[in-house]
Structure 1
Amino acid sequence: MSRLDQKTVANRYARAIFELAQEDGQLDQTYQELVSVRQVFLDNPSLAPLLAGVDLGIKEKQALVDQVKEGASKYVANLLQMAFDYRRMSDMVAIVDEFERRYDEKHKRVHAEVVTAVQLDETRRNQLRDNLAARLGAQEIVLNEKVDPTILGGVVVKTANQTLDGSIKTKIEQIRRLIVK
């Protein structure tokens, strides 16, 4: 039997915990816990391979899993244990990413990477959030801001579904193409 790909695994596990947490009114708490769990795996990139590898015995691995589970709700603790038992610890970040995608969809929250030539001040940041929320039909916009002076001015916004390029650099290139024709 072939091993399921990470996307399929993430979808199944995330859907299961999402539905359970939602039914029990624990969605927000579960989301917060899973974000913390993801951060543990991101901050410790050797953790998943260590749990999947042969360097440690089962008792040592279980002790590590127990440390990660410490203080977790039953849903998150059970997810971690199941992922460990079924040798899916290397899929934990993908599982949390998929859970977050579902959580964001339910809460009409959009993550956007915003590239500007200069750092945005609070007023412009809020204007951008409001404009994006209206344009994308979102209740909340989570901005990941980057500064890139090479765009000269304007803004480039990338979401999971689209890219909005209002940079001066792109406008100059468009004009140049029109002139060169």
Structure 2
Amino acid sequence: MVNVSIARRYARAILDVAAEGNRTDAVAEQLNAFAAVVGKSADLSDVLLNPAYSRAQRSSVVEALLQAMPAPAEPALANAVRLLVDRNRLGYLPDIARLYRDMADARAGRVRGQVTSAVPLSADAVAQLQQSLQQLTQRNVVLETKVDPALLGGVAAQVGGTLYDGSLRTQLEQMRRELK
């Protein structure tokens, strides 16, 4: 994380503009996708972040990326990315995307969580777990799933800063400590 205060200012500004048009979630989706594309390609990152390339070259690359998006780019996103190019702040893009998502979630009353299981969970199991976590936290929970065979069985869910651990590995470890 380079400088969070700069990234936070840009994220807040993008959120304010997107909220005016009720496009907060659409901008979040596109901003995350844009940051992921830039982050995955070393050549693209080099062109956009290397000061050896002129601002005009970076600007033309960004315009091409905006045109290549599957859906037309949201105006708030397009203008923000152009501003980042003009001010040589594209290096902050991953932090801006992360902070924007967090701010948008807070504004919408959502909290993100991660469910880790030993085997892939069915869609019904994820939906049921999401419902249970929503009742526990009294907030709308957005879950992402992860598979970790080291758990042996059960699930562990982290929502916000709270870990709900129902994994077999943890239960066996607790039993081992009690038996000692």
TM-score computed with the length of structure 2 as normaliser: 0.85
Shift of 1:5: 4.1
C-alpha separation in 2, matches of 1:88 and 1:160: 29
C-alpha separation in 2, matches of 1:49 and 1:56: 9
How many correspondences in the alignment?
176
Task: Please list every run of 5 or more consecutive structure 1 residues that lacks an aligned counterpart in the other structure.
Answer: none
- AA aligned to 1:153 is G
C-alpha separation in 2, matches of 1:147 and 1:33: 26
2:18 matched to 1:21? Answer: yes
2:48 matched to 1:47? Answer: no
C-alpha separation in 1, matches of 2:42 and 2:135: 38
- AA aligned to 1:101 is D
2:53 matched to 1:56? Answer: yes
C-alpha separation in 1, matches of 2:176 and 2:74: 58
TM-score computed with the length of structure 1 as normaliser: 0.85
| 1:25-59 deviation digits (Å, cap 9, x = unpaired) | 33233223223322322332443332221442333
After the TM superposition, list the runs of 4 or more consecutive aligned residues in structure 1 that deviate by more than 6 angstroms.
none
CA RMSD after TM alignment: 2.1
Q: Percent identity among equivalent residues?
A: 28
C-alpha separation in 1, matches of 2:2 and 2:162: 26
C-alpha separation in 1, matches of 2:148 and 2:142: 19
- SS, match of residue 37 in structure 1: helix
- SS, match of residue 135 in structure 2: helix
The residue aligned with 1:163 is 163
Aligned ranges 1:70-89 → 2 under 5 Å = 70=67, 71-89=72-90
In structure 2, do the counterparts of structure 1 residues 90 and 47 end up closer, same or farther at CA, with 3 Å as the change threshold?
Answer: farther
- AA aligned to 2:124 is T
Shift of 1:133: 1.3
- AA aligned to 1:7 is V
Q: Is the 8 A contact 2:153 2:169 kept in 1?
A: yes
Q: Is the 8 A contact 1:48 1:89 kept in 2?
A: no
